[in-house]
């Protein structure tokens, strides 16, 4: 693929992502303004409505903690101590914040997570009915990995299994910080930027709030990150194809827990096709190694589960057709979110797979053809901003759901908490600035991989059912991209630039 085409492709991705992020940034800023300035009433003071959008008494404490953490982080990054000690201090900050969050809210499994947890207990008792017929796990076999994980935790820690899972989430979160540090250092070849990205990871709201949530993303993210690290490492060295093989294997293991890794695999393949300077033969060989290793692990896991009579059907062959997620995602009246209308329709036709699939397609086509282009554009933009606008990707909502308020020491407003929105908005601003950092974008080719992954998830979430949690699986891409903005700020104010901090 010639460099002219790859350059044009990069510019198109850059402009597209930039345009959508500007829309998202405008919405976020408007939400923050509404949080601070409520409806106009009788006096100027009455304009402040602390409960309007994501602000309550706990926010004062969280803002105070945030200011302290950022101040400490700034001092650490400016202090002349060893790089290893800086990383350890950052990890300690991340550890303390996550411990405080766990102590604040005694979260319990809710919604699908509760169903998975209950199924894991039944599974230990020999009941596998949820995997059979049109039962829930048969409809959504991608949840099998989490069922088996929770079953193992219940087996090892029968009394305190929930606490054990939270502790594992905590340490996996610290591992995420280390992996993000390593990936940033690999991409930018800059220890300072690696430390900054690690610090952002330590205080990034979703990485904290989801520590107490019993979702599969917490298990899957380290696999995704390690896979990305191995892929970029291979691109930089190209000496050992075993790294590429392990990249596919590890990504497939991550996919077993959170089945959306195919987006990353496609990004890998597209990157090799468009940006690799290797021969066609070499590129084809690299793609085959990636795809075969990825599919082989999936097939082995699926066959093993079927052999042990855990699954009736392969992992990729769900009893409910995947088109039903697109059906819910095409509902104009509900901005593409879960809705009772589509849920009832699916349940009514669940016994006939082919009929459900065909009727779903008909409804989807009818919805898009029966609305004007303008309404469709508004629907898409609304769905996009709803998907990506929450500063913690709905982590605080899931953490507090079904927990009695008197058991929460400092309740967090679930509707886009202001303190989280502020951090998230700063990150979005830095990303938007970084998208204009042409010099750095041109010199660091791996930015295109980040574009492909983020763009892939963006397109996927525009098609399927909208839910804030879904963006959590790829939120680390935002941290990498905001480094481009930080570099631009540092250059503007004559700080230590990338060329001086190798």
pLDDT, tens digit, for every residue of 254-304?
999 999 999 999 999 999 999 988 888 999 999 999 999 999 999 999 999
The model's confidence at residue 36, banded by pLDDT at 50, 70 and 90, is low
3-state secondary structure of 259: coil
pLDDT-based confidence at 42, cuts 50/70/90?
Answer: very low
Instruction: Report residue 416's pLDDT band, with 50, 70 and 90 as the boundaries.
Output: low
Percent of the chain predicted with pLDDT > 90 = 55
DSSP state string for 311-342: -SS-TT--SS-THHHHHHHT-GGGTTS--HHH
The domain in which residue 122 lies consists of 3-500
> Tokens at residue 79, please?
């202090």
Q: What angle do CA 119, 226, 478 make, to 5 degrees?
A: 90
Distance CA 193, CA 174 (A): 18
**Domain count for the chain:** 1
Q: Which residue would you say has higher pLDDT here, 290 or 51? A: 290
Least confident window among 127-141, 178-192, 350-364, 374-388: 127-141
Specify whether the CB–CB gap between 332 and 367 falls below 8 A.
yes
Task: Provide the 10 A C-beta neighbour count for residue 340.
Answer: 8
How many whole angstroms separate alpha carbon 259 and alpha carbon 322? 12
Indicate the pLDDT class of residue 422, thresholds 50, 70 and 90.
confident
Q: Pick from 104, 99, 239: which is nearest to 174 by CA?
A: 99
Band of the pLDDT at 114, cuts 50, 70, 90? Answer: very high
- CA–CA separation, 101 and 396 (whole Å): 10
- What is the torsion angle, in degrees rounded to the nearest 10, for the CA atoms of residue 487, residue 491, residue 495 and residue 497? 60
Give the mean model confidence (pLDDT) for residues 237-266: 92
**Cβ-count burial of 322 within 10 angstroms (0-12 exposed, 13-18 middle, 19+ buried)?**
middle
Where do the H-state alpha helices sit in 48-160?
57-78, 83-104, 111-124, 136-139, 144-156
Whole-angstrom Cα distance, residue 193 to residue 92?
Answer: 19
User: Two tokens at 30?
Assistant: 């408007």
Report pLDDT for 56: 59
Q: Is the pLDDT of residue 442 over 80?
A: yes
What is the arithmetic mean of pLDDT over 418-437? Answer: 88
Residue 411 has what pLDDT?
82
């Amino acid at each position: 693929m010639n460099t002219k085409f790859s350059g044009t492709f990069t510019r198109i991705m850059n402009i597209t992502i930039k345009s959508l992020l500007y829309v998202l940034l405008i919405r976020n800023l408007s939400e923050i303004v509404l949080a601070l300035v409520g409806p106009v009433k009788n006096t100027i003071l009455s304009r402040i409505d602390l409960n309007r959008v994501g602000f309550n008494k706990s926010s004062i404490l969280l803002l105070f903690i945030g200011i302290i953490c950022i101040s400490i982080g700034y001092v650490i990054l400016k202090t002349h101590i060893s790089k290893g000690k800086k990383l350890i201090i950052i990890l300690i900050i991340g550890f303390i914040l996550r411990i405080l969050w766990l102590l604040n809210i005694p979260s319990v499994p809710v919604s699908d997570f509760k169903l998975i947890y209950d199924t894991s207990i039944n599974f230990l008792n020999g009941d596998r009915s949820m995997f059979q017929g049109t039962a829930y796990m048969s409809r959504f076999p991608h949840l099998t990995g989490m069922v088996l994980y929770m079953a193992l935790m219940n087996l090892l820690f029968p009394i305190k299994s929930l606490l054990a899972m939270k502790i594992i989430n905590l340490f996996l979160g610290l591992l995420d910080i280390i992996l993000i540090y390593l990936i940033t250092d690999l991409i930018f070849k800059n220890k300072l930027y690696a430390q900054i990205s690690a610090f952002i990871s330590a205080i990034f709201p979703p990485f904290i709030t989801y520590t107490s949530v019993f979702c599969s993303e917490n298990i899957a993210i380290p696999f995704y990150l390690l896979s990305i690290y191995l892929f970029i490492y291979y691109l930089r060295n190209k000496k050992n194809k075993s790294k590429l093989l392990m990249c596919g294997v590890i990504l497939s293991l991550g996919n077993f827990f959170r089945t959306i890794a195919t987006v990353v695999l496609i990004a890998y393949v597209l990157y090799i096709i468009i940006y690799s300077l290797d021969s066609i033969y070499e590129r084809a060989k690299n793609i085959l190694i990636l795809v075969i290793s990825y599919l082989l692990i999936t097939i082995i896991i699926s066959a093993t589960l079927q052999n042990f009579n855990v699954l009736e059907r392969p992992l990729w062959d769900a009893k409910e057709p995947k088109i039903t997620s697109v059906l819910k995602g095409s509902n104009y009246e509900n901005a593409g979110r879960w809705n009772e209308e589509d849920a009832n329709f699916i349940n009514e036709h669940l016994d006939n797979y082919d009929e459900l699939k065909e009727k779903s397609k008909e409804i989807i086509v009818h919805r898009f053809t029966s609305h004007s282009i303008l309404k469709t554009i508004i629907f898409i933009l609304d769905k996009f901003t709803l998907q990506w606008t929450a500063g913690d990707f709905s982590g605080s909502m899931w953490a507090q759901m079904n927990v009695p308020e008197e058991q929460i020491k400092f309740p967090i407003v679930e509707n886009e908490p202001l303190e989280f929105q502020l951090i998230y908005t700063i990150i979005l601003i830095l990303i938007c600035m970084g998208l204009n950092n042409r010099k750095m974008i041109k010199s660091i080719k791996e930015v295109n991989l980040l574009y492909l992954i983020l763009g892939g998830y963006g397109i996927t979430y525009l098609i399927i059912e909208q839910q804030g949690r879904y963006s959590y699986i790829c939120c680390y891409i935002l941290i990498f991209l905001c480094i481009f903005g930080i570099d631009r700020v540092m250059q503007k104010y004559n700080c230590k630039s990338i060329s001086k901090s190798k």
